[in-house]
């Protein structure tokens, strides 16, 4: 649930950013004093996070606080249009529950897995959403609402949120690296999100790290996510141990110093370090924020990657940050409270 809440906020932030970048007033969400006069503005926005197994929907206020949220399962056996109809219905239900009208909503921000075309508002061929190929999700949702709808790659959204409210506040050159089922990244350079031609920049999971490790689903050999994602850790450890293991089970064995697992995990840390070195050399980063579903191991990955980075990356000095630990340290159990301090 924490991840879903977090990502809902992420997408709203992207919405803010787009208003600013497009020259529209960012103050359309929240209140603003302009020329000594208080301008009436739309105080809420909607965030939708579309994933392969679930869709998280949230209503967010101008401070980034979640006014209402829900999670619905992603049904991949129905048409994408039907799934969007369900999302639209849940948005209305949430607004109704909080007594908020669509007139008070500045827009809807959608985060989705790539590859996608952010400008055209469509998903291209998301691996975990087979019925969404070449589907214009923005157009479909616009048909059901009168507010602006925007689409962006989910890792890009996460990078913007880290910059706004997370561990990359004040950073002008950083990468949010997500290590989960796959590996992806959001890249911010010179304070700007690097989104690329169609919004797919940051697909770092398909940087080749070790071609000797076999063929990735994309067709190349030895991609970053093929050798170092949560899926890769589980697959490689299962082969070594001769039994099917989850990533969590693999790390439990690692903590028990299982002799067949320890070298495998250390090799994984080295691979992650190699990936980070490539990114540091390419972008001259001040920070890498590591997040993603392999949550219980993020701090290990941070320290492991840093050890590998030291001898190679030039000129060095890039900071690593584990998203969850710092956030939880600052906010305690009330994870939502961290957004209260955010400034638009």
Chain positions contacting Zn ion, by CB under 5 A: 206, 216, 218, 220, 223
The single residue listed with the structure tokens 């850790």 is: 233
Nearer to Zn ion, 223 or 234 (CB): 223
Least Å from the CB of residue 129 to Zn ion: 18
Least Å from the CB of residue 208 to Zn ion: 8
Is residue 338 classed exposed, middle or buried when 0-12, 13-18 and 19+ CB atoms within 10 A define those classes?
A: buried
Nearer to Zn ion, 136 or 183 (CB): 183
Least Å from the CB of residue 222 to Zn ion: 8
The DSSP letter of residue 208 is: B
Distance CA 202, CA 187 (A): 6
Nearer to Zn ion, 129 or 207 (CB): 207
Distance CA 19, CA 24 (A): 5
Nearer to Zn ion, 72 or 208 (CB): 208
CB 176 within 8 A of CB 10: no
CA distances to 24, 51, 149 from 86, in Å: 30, 14, 16
> DSSP 3-state assignment of 115?
coil
Nearer to Zn ion, 53 or 220 (CB): 220
Distance CA 21, CA 147 (A): 18
Least Å from the CB of residue 216 to Zn ion: 3
Nearer to Zn ion, 42 or 214 (CB): 214
Least Å from the CB of residue 269 to Zn ion: 20
Least Å from the CB of residue 218 to Zn ion: 3
- Residue 47, CA atoms < 13 Å, CB-side half-sphere: 35
């Amino acid at each position: 649930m924490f991840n879903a809440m977090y990502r809902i906020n992420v997408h709203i932030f992207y919405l803010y950013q787009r208003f600013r970048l497009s020259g529209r007033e960012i103050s359309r969400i929240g209140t603003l004093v302009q020329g000594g006069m208080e301008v009436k503005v739309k105080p809420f926005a909607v965030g939708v996070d579309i994933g392969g197994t679930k869709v998280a929907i949230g209503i967010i206020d101008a401070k980034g606080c979640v006014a209402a949220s829900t999670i619905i399962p992603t049904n991949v056996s129905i048409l994408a249009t039907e799934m969007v109809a369900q999302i639209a219905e849940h948005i209305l239900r949430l607004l109704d529950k909080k007594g908020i009208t669509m007139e008070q909503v500045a827009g809807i921000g959608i985060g989705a897995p790539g590859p996608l075309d952010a400008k055209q508002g469509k998903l291209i061929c998301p691996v975990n959403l087979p019925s969404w190929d070449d589907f214009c999700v923005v157009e479909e949702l616009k048909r059901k609402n009168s507010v602006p709808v925007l689409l962006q790659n989910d890792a890009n959204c996460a990078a913007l949120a880290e910059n706004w409210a997370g561990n990359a506040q004040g950073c002008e050159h950083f990468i949010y690296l997500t290590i989960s089922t796959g590996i992806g990244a959001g890249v911010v350079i010179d304070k700007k999100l690097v989104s690329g031609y169609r919004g797919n920049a940051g697909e770092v999971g398909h940087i080749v790290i070790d071609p000797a490790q076999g063929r990735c689903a994309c067709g190349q050999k030895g991609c970053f996510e093929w050798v170092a994602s949560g899926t890769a850790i589980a697959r490689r450890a299962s082969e070594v141990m001769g039994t099917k293991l989850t990533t969590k089970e693999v790390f439990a064995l690692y903590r028990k110093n299982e002799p067949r697992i320890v070298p495998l995990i250390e090799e994984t840390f080295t691979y992650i370090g190699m990936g980070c070195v490539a990114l540091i050399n390419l972008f001259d980063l001040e920070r890498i924020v590591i997040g993603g579903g392999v949550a219980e191991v993020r701090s290990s990955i941070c320290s492991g990657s840093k050890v590998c980075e030291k001898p190679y990356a030039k000129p060095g000095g890039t900071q690593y940050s584990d998203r969850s630990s710092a956030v939880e340290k600052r906010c305690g159990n009330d994870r939502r409270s961290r957004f209260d301090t955010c400034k638009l």
